[in-house]
């Protein structure tokens, strides 16, 4: 019997939109099989001169390629996050090189939150919350439980990520949190 090769497991990314703020939080752990390779990776970034925030789950080098592509689409379609993301998703799905990239992204600007996938999906959450990655479901469930409390968006994101880190072995508590004012 042969065992499956070690695979990279990396991340939990959560976005919370509440009371005039949008927050994206991501943990810092990158794992290969049962080994933690890095504990302080930065998977959440500000793009487009601070007008967009984004987080990725998946292969790190692939995500950096996608950040660069998204940045160029945002330059091509300034202040049009949805259009830039749709155009990038088209490229991602049809380009022979990009098609092989294994990552997902959450992106947000003051009015819109989207999830981008390599299958060409550009998804808008039904509510003010969205999560991706190995601990995404745990963080999302925690955030849903907390969204109707007095906590602000950042506090919800931090508490939800802490809960995810307590459950998911591929998620740690070394967070990077980016936020901006929201119109939605």
Catalytic residues: 11
Where does residue 7 fall: left (phi above 0), alpha (psi -120 to 50 degrees), or beta otherwise?
Answer: beta
Query: Alpha-carbon dihedral of residues 134, 10, 92, 95, nearest 10 degrees?
Result: -130
* Residues 6+ away with beta carbon under 8 Å from 31: 8, 9, 10, 37, 169, 170
Asked whether 55 and 13 are in contact (CB, 8 A), the reply is yes
CA distance 40 to 43: 9
Sheet holding 8-9: strands in order across? 8-9, 30-32, 35-38
Look-up: residue for tokens 């947000």? 108
Element holding 89 (H helix, E strand): helix 81-94
């Amino acid at each position: 019997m042969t065992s499956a090769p070690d695979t990279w497991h990396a991340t939990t990314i959560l976005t919370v939109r509440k009371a005039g703020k949008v927050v994206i939080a991501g943990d810092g752990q990158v794992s290969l099989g049962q080994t933690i390779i890095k504990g302080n990776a930065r998977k959440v970034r500000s793009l487009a001169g601070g007008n967009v925030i984004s987080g990725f789950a998946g292969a790190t080098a692939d995500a950096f390629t996608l950040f660069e592509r998204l940045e160029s689409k945002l330059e091509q379609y300034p202040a049009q996050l949805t259009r830039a993301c749709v155009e990038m998703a088209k490229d991602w799905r049809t380009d022979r090189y990009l098609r092989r990239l294994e990552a997902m992204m959450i992106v947000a600007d003051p009015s819109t939150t989207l999830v981008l996938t390599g299958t060409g999906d550009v998804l808008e959450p039904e509510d003010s919350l969205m999560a991706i990655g190995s601990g995404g479901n745990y963080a999302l469930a925690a955030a849903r439980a907390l969204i109707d409390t007095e906590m602000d968006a950042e506090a919800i994101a931090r508490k939800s990520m802490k809960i995810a880190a307590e459950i998911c072995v591929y998620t740690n508590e070394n967070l990077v949190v980016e936020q901006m004012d929201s119109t939605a």
